[in-house]
Amino acid sequence: MDYRPLGRTGVQVSPLCLGAMMFGPWGNNDHADATRIIHRAIDSGINFLDTADVYSGGASEEIVGKALEGKRDDVFLATKFFMPMNEDDPNQRGGSRRWIMRAVEDSLRRLNTDYIDLYQVHRPSPDTDVEETLGALTDLVRQGKVRYIGSSSYSGSQIVEAQWASRDRNLERFVTEQPPYSILVRGIEEDVLPTVQRHGMGTLTYSPLGGGWLSGRWRKGAASAPTSSARPSARFDMTSPANQRKLDIVEELARLAEQSGMTLIELAIAFVINHPGVTAAIVGPRTMEQLESYLPAADITLASDVLDRIDKIAAPGVTVNPDDNSYGAHELTAQARRRTRP
């Protein structure tokens, strides 16, 4: 497996990043089996792991921490904070200094490590200055608890604002961005990917299979169901014209994959990691079988004619169902778009 530079950090990572969202009650709650999957990924050459405090209420981090005993130095370990960890406490979430300082200690304990390689803010906050978040994260880097910091699901303008704030205030900067990206969710090609490239950031993209749509389980006349309650229901509503369009696209992509001598899964993941702005695709297996189906994609380079045919099937820069975008969650609400009377 070839390795790639993570932005301008000097760190080399695998083109596949093992996502741990499915380890724990949200997906596979068999800790021994999850550990075997993690070890198999590392043995295959994957040296990049991503999790989050919110995944299964912290259970994912605990599973990863136990699995990495004796292997911690072999991987570049990333986790995230921001999402609510206690629905009854409004301060156990977000990007405030107060919460970040507590959240990092909780993650370090669950991960059974004394440092986190990449600590990412899971979402932008509409009510917290980015300087507040960057200031706290800068202190964590200087304390040695965190090596690098990154963002997730930021828009192009939010990425630029954070980079400017870091330079203006002499703070650590986000060295990575983690956006959604797949053949069905190509919105980031227009703005986010050019922005991260311009600022020398690494990009670890999530949902390369479109939340399962490109796994082969979602086909005309045989639509499946989400395997995890963590999946937003709107993305799988079969009464939605946009989701019906996705089924049509999947059929065309399946034929293209077969004609190209690969599986639909391999085509989908190879498409993502072939983009020059993408460092790694996060693959989140629930089973060993799923992991094995992802691994061959790391060594596939799609021919230009295959990429051209994909562009005709799913237009560049377009997300087929806007509900699949994870950025713009605050900006595109009715309340944010409509002027109210005083």
Q: For 23-63, write each residue's pLDDT tens digit.
A: 999 999 999 999 999 999 999 999 999 999 999 999 999 99
Quote the CA–CA distance of 302 and 271 in Å, as a whole number. Answer: 7
Q: Please indicate, yes or no, if residue 183 is contained in any of the structural domains.
A: yes
pLDDT of residue 330: 66
Q: Please indicate, yes or no, if residue 17 is contained in any of the structural domains.
A: yes
Q: List residues with catalytic annotation.
A: 55
Residue-wise burial string across 39-52, b where 16 or more C-beta atoms lie within 10 A, e elsewhere: ebbbebebbbbbbb
pLDDT at 222 over 60: yes
pLDDT of residue 308: 98
pLDDT of residue 326: 74
Quote the CA–CA distance of 63 and 231 in Å, as a whole number. Answer: 21
Pairwise pLDDT comparison (6 vs 126), residue with the higher score: 6
Average pLDDT of the residues of the chain: 93
Quote the CA–CA distance of 333 and 221 in Å, as a whole number. Answer: 33
User: What CATH number has the domain bearing residue 199?
Assistant: 3.20.20.100
Q: Please indicate, yes or no, if residue 24 is contained in any of the structural domains.
A: yes
What would the mean pLDDT of 199-222 be, rounded to a whole number? 90
Question: What confidence category does residue 19 fall into, taking pLDDT thresholds of 50, 70 and 90?
Answer: very high
Question: What confidence category does residue 8 fall into, taking pLDDT thresholds of 50, 70 and 90?
Answer: very high
Quote the CA–CA distance of 177 and 153 in Å, as a whole number. Answer: 7
The H or E element containing residue 280 is strand 280-283
Q: What confidence tens digit (pLDDT) does each residue in 72-90 have? A: 999 999 999 999 999 999 9
Q: Please indicate, yes or no, if residue 3 is contained in any of the structural domains.
A: no
Number of domains in the chain: 1
Domain of residue 106: give its range: 12-335
- Supply the DSSP string of 191-245, one letter for each residue: THHHHHHHTT-EEEEB-TTGGGTTTTS--TT-----SSTTS-GGGG-TT-HHHHH
Q: Helix, strand, coil: what percent of the chain each, to 5?
A: 45, 15, 40
Whole-prediction pTM value? 0.93
Question: What confidence category does residue 340 fall into, taking pLDDT thresholds of 50, 70 and 90?
Answer: confident
pLDDT of residue 28: 96
Q: For residue 115, give the 3-state DSSP assignment.
A: coil
pLDDT at 329 over 70: no
